[in-house]
Amino acid sequence: MIQPDRSGQQHELDPQRWVEIHGDVLMGYAMLRVRDRDLAEDLVQETLVAAWNARDRFEGRGKERTWLVGILKRRIFDFYRRRWREQPATALSADADGDQMMDRMFDEKGMWKDEKPQVWADPRRALDGKEFMEYLELCLKKLPARLAEAFTLREMEEVDGNEICQALGISATNLWQMIHRARAGLRRCLEKNGFGSLGKE
C-alpha cells in the first residue's frame, strides 16, 4: 500500500514509519486525557494495532491522523466504561461522590462557608492549553477519581452526556451534579494554588 507522507511524497506504508509519524501525537493526546503514562501507552498501542489491521478500509480519504485520533477517542471512553463497570462500590474512596468536599464549601443552609470565591484576573490569555493542563494536573488528582474521570470525558473529550450516564448507570441529574462538583472542587483547588493572580499583567 502506497501513501503520501506529509510532504506529499509517496512511500511504502511501514510500521516503523507509522509509529514515528503518529506515535508522539497520539501519546500526547492520550496522556492529557488519562494522565497515566503506562495506560496512555497501552491505549496508543491498541489504537495503532486496530488501525493497522483496518488500514485497507481507510482509503486515504480525509486525514490519517484524524482517523487515528477517532479510534483513540473510542478506546479512551471504552477504558473508563469498563473500569466503572468493574469497580465495586466498596473500592471507591470514602468520598466517591464528593459530598464531604461540598460540605467544606457550603454550610447547612447552602451558603458559602469560610473559603468563598476570591477575585480572579482573567487567566485565559496568560496560559495556553498545555500550561493549563500542567496547572490542572495536581488539582485533578485531588478530586474523587470518578468525578475527575467523568468530568474529563465530558469537558475534554466532549463525550455526549447521555453516553456517560449509561456507562455510569446514573441519571442526567446525577451526572450534572458530579460535573458541577468536579468544577467546584477544581476551582477551589486552583484558587488555593494561586491561579487567580495568573492573569495579572
Partner 1 sequence: MLNCKETTQLASDRFERRLTLTERMNFLMHIMMCPFCRRFSRQIGWLHDLFHKASTLPDDQLAAIGQKLPLDRERLARALRDQDRQ
CB of 92 to partner 1, least distance (A): 22
Regarding 132 and contact with partner 1 (CB under 8 A), the answer is yes
Nearer to partner 1, 77 or 87 (CB): 77
Q: Which of 119, 169, 194, 201 binds partner 1 (CB under 8 A)?
A: 119
Using CB under 8 A as the binding rule, the residues of this chain from 13 to 32 that contact partner 1 are: 15-16, 18-20, 23-29, 31-32
Number of H helices, E strands in the chain: 8, 2
Give the 3-state secondary structure of residue 68.
helix
Distance CA 189, CA 77 (A): 26
Which one, of 43, 55, 59, lies nearest residue 17 by Cα? 55
What contacts 48, CB < 8 A, 6 or more positions away?
18, 19, 22, 23, 26, 68
Q: Give the x/- contact pattern for partner 1 in 27-56, rule: CB under 8 A.
A: xxx-xx----x--xx--xx--xx--xx---
Nearer to partner 1, 87 or 107 (CB): 107
What contacts 189, CB < 8 A, 6 or more positions away?
138, 139, 142
Regarding 58 and contact with partner 1 (CB under 8 A), the answer is no
Distance CA 87, CA 81 (A): 10
Regarding 130 and contact with partner 1 (CB under 8 A), the answer is yes
Nearer to partner 1, 87 or 193 (CB): 193
CB of 111 to partner 1, least distance (A): 5
Residue whose grid cell is 468536579 = 182
Backbone φ and ψ of 4, nearest 5°: -75, 140
Size of the site for partner 1 (CB under 8 A): 63
Nearer to partner 1, 145 or 177 (CB): 177
Distance CA 195, CA 122 (A): 10
Regarding 128 and contact with partner 1 (CB under 8 A), the answer is yes
Residues linked to residue 112 through DSSP beta bridges, in sequence order: 106
Where along the sequence are the contacts to partner 1 (CB under 8 A)?
A: 15-16, 18-20, 23-29, 31-32, 37, 40-41, 44-45, 48-49, 52-53, 65, 102, 105-106, 109-112, 116-120, 122-124, 127-130, 132-133, 136, 154-158, 161, 172, 175-177, 179-180, 183-184, 186-187, 190
